[in-house]
Chains A and B, each alone.
With several copies, the nearest count.
Chain A
């Protein structure tokens, strides 16, 4: 099963990258840019056909490695 994991900084945590991207877009002449946040996006294949079990396994991966849950949230999407 193919899965996609989005890892984003928690609300309120400083995002220096997002801030710099926003500034750069502005100086490139793009107007009307509000807050910019940057996150990670991980696509992977897991050998698991049961969605519930896949989701559980991916949750463990996020907790252990993919996300730094002190400052990041994660979201798991499964392809069907």
Chain B
């Protein structure tokens, strides 16, 4: 064979491709000869952490992935669940952390583009986007421009394609100073009997390329996404891709139009590692070979080599296998949408990937052996021990409880993120029933009276202190947020963001978080249907807090039966569901008021979580609840303040008699709790009692102040000013990407 002879394969070249000596030995075995540079590049991306999950695979297998309503779990482009009436929800979350740190606008924008493609690849129309963002300390000089660029980028892409961005999360912590997290999630809607998969079949069938042309974008992005940063990363600034949301919008419409016809056998987006991983995945899943003529690939630049074409990460491209004879009909659709369309190859029975260019063979590799021999590591782990539980009495009371409340609601993590979501079109498609700001967003299933609830959650403080508890808590909180709006939680996607897995303590965090997620998923019947792993979020040996972001989806059968955060009318009763112990370890109170972050995170009692949630959901469905909010960061008083701020209606509450110090009652972060407003709170407490659910009558809403007996009062207006004020003031006159 005649391969480009240009680049000799030296040990340095092998190393620059991120392959260890041992991995390279395996390459030689599989090839039976020295690979050429194109082949080496292909091995390198296919065996990168990003594509092969070599460090995480062993642990991911632990995740529960089945339930009667799961149509397709992990392993495809996105997870698929049955939501009744012949419909399916398709969703996944994915990270774009490293690219967003290097170029926040384009990094975040292309992250959204990528996850959208994962969802519409499966035949679903995207109906909502969400995000999960983590930035460095607010006083770190890079934080402000990163927030600005990332938010503008997520909005810039989602707004243009016309998919509402309806929910998300955003926290700050110094551990993200050098490694921000930008996780994006898309939820789509499809007919349950019209899901498209990546499995290629039919020897001789045409392989078709559609979308944008291929340029030299992001070559080696997939390996970059798996490499730890060092201090020179900023200087290197490699390979950032630019997104084109306009083309993505056309691609969505064209693909969905073609999908309505009976023409596609298999389809796969070209994400990280572009044409390489998409063609490998399609052929590998179908057990067939593939032959591609690289001269047929639409290119943007002249003189592109096979290496560049195969490894390019140009955005807005898809690969399909069509039924024979359907090429012309398909071409007409893509030309109508002014997109490139090219038959670039065909399926073969050789089990090999053969690439040709200029009449010569540019690469020839076996498909299965390459995938099967992909390295899997069982890396050593070391668990983070459970810290000692802080007794409430060991945490001093604040100078004033209402003053502490004002500080908390105006702190970076708990303040209103309106400044962010107002830059996202969260209403386009005219089905957003519950806009950003609630426990979960609700998007109506178009043309029906049913809705999907969705949220992203994770508390990295808890995960850092005790990964297993933190992992379980993230899932439980996601489940609780869906429950709080009246939805039946159905399934999750997870985005595992961690440091360097070669360090046992990091691998231990990973393994323990997975274990916690597993326990919670099992206890709550809340399986994992898709996910993504981002490792090496580490700069100069300092890792991020372990951050397993959880994205959850739930179903509301009747949109008239749901709940929301704001109080609805003065005079209604306020009831607390769940057990309060006053747990202050790892709490927002401890961090914001005392500058401490010690202690164990609050324990997660999954049985209580489930029982309390099931009770609350039933009460909402029965129309007995006028407002509902789960208790999370900041504790009960923050939850009450949020209900008051959202409505402009105050409240007057009294702590039940007992040994818990008032500040621990106010700010403890005990899990499994909800605040409900009801016209008849006493009756609600009684029903809870009969059902064996802990419930206490707290007081009534009304007036313009929030009052806690023994702690005084604060005006709702003042709370609001603090709550709404922090982020806009922090961002100041920042001009973001607007001038660009």
Interface set of A (CB-CB < 8 Å, partner B):
9, 12-17, 19-21, 23-24, 27, 38, 40, 68-71
Q: Which residues of chain A have C-beta atoms less than 8 A from B729's C-beta?
A: none
CB-based contact A16/B247 at 8 Å: yes
Cβ-closest 7 pairs across A and B: A16-B244, A20-B735, A14-B242, A17-B739, A70-B103, A12-B216, A70-B237
Q: Which chain B residues numbered 347 to 391 have a C-beta less than 8 Å away from chain A?
A: none
Secondary structure of the A contact surface, majority rule: mixed
A-B contact pairs, 28 of them (CB 8 A): A12-B215, A13-B242, A14-B212, A14-B215, A14-B300, A14-B314, A15-B242, A16-B242, A16-B247, A17-B738, A20-B246, A20-B735, A20-B739, A23-B338, A23-B733, A23-B735, A24-B734, A24-B739, A38-B739, A40-B740, A68-B103, A68-B105, A69-B237, A70-B106, A70-B237, A71-B103, A71-B106, A71-B242
B241 CB within 8 Å of chain A = yes
- Chain B 638-679 interface 0/1 with A at a Cβ cutoff of 8 Å (1 = within): 000000000000000000000000000000000000000000
Which residue of the partner chain, among A12, A13, A24, contacts B735 with CB atoms under 8 Å? A24
Residue of B nearest to A64 (CB): B145
Q: Which residues of chain B have C-beta atoms less than 8 A from A13's C-beta?
A: 217, 242
Residue of A nearest to B106 (CB): A71
Q: Which residues of chain A have C-beta atoms less than 8 A from B241's C-beta?
A: 14
CA distance A21 to B733 in the complex (A): 10
Q: Which residues of chain A have C-beta atoms less than 8 A from B217's C-beta?
A: 12-14
CA distance A15 to B216 in the complex (A): 13
CA distance A27 to B145 in the complex (A): 13
CA distance A17 to B241 in the complex (A): 15
B85 CB within 8 Å of chain A = no
Q: Given contacts A24-B739, A68-B740, list 13 more A-B pairs with CB under 8 A.
A: A13-B217, A13-B242, A14-B212, A14-B215, A14-B241, A14-B244, A14-B315, A15-B242, A23-B338, A23-B735, A70-B102, A70-B237, A71-B103
B247 shortest CB reach to chain A, Å: 7
Residue of A nearest to B234 (CB): A70
Q: Which residues of chain B have C-beta atoms less than 8 A from A12's C-beta?
A: 215-217, 301
B188 shortest CB reach to chain A, Å: 24
CA distance A51 to B242 in the complex (A): 34
Interface set of B (CB-CB < 8 Å, partner A):
102-103, 105-106, 212, 215-217, 237, 240-244, 246-247, 300-301, 314-315, 338, 732-735, 738-740
A-B CB contacts (within 8 Å), total count: 56
Q: Which residues of chain B have C-beta atoms less than 8 A from A40's C-beta?
A: 740
B512 shortest CB reach to chain A, Å: 36
Which residue of the partner chain, among B106, B240, B314, B738, contacts A20 with CB atoms under 8 Å? B738
Residue of A nearest to B244 (CB): A16
Residue of B nearest to A13 (CB): B242
CA distance A21 to B734 in the complex (A): 10
CA distance A68 to B739 in the complex (A): 12
Q: Which residues of chain B have C-beta atoms less than 8 A from A68's C-beta?
A: 103, 105, 740
Given contacts A12-B215, A23-B733, A27-B733, whether A70 and B244 have CB atoms under 8 Å apart is no
CA distance A36 to B105 in the complex (A): 23
B212 shortest CB reach to chain A, Å: 8
Most A CB atoms within 10 A — which of B216, B242, B735?
A: B735
CA distance A71 to B149 in the complex (A): 14
Q: Which residues of chain A have C-beta atoms less than 8 A from B338's C-beta?
A: 23
Residue of B nearest to A26 (CB): B733
CA distance A19 to B105 in the complex (A): 20
Given contacts A12-B215, A14-B217, A16-B246, whether A71 and B735 have CB atoms under 8 Å apart is no
CB-based contact A70/B240 at 8 Å: yes
CA distance A12 to B102 in the complex (A): 18
Residue of B nearest to A35 (CB): B300
A77 shortest CB reach to chain B, Å: 20
CB-based contact B240/A21 at 8 Å: no
B157 shortest CB reach to chain A, Å: 11
Q: Which residues of chain B have C-beta atoms less than 8 A from A69's C-beta?
A: 237
CA distance A69 to B235 in the complex (A): 10
CA distance A45 to B215 in the complex (A): 20
Residue of A nearest to B212 (CB): A14
Residue of B nearest to A38 (CB): B739
A10 shortest CB reach to chain B, Å: 10
CA distance A24 to B246 in the complex (A): 14
Most A CB atoms within 10 A — which of B105, B212, B735, B739?
A: B739
CA distance A62 to B243 in the complex (A): 23
Q: Which residues of chain A have C-beta atoms less than 8 A from B734's C-beta?
A: 24
Q: Which residues of chain B have C-beta atoms less than 8 A from A16's C-beta?
A: 242-244, 246-247
Most B CB atoms within 10 A — which of A17, A24, A70?
A: A70
Which residue of the partner chain, among A24, A70, A71, contacts B733 with CB atoms under 8 Å? A24
Most B CB atoms within 10 A — which of A12, A14, A19, A68?
A: A14
CA distance A16 to B735 in the complex (A): 10
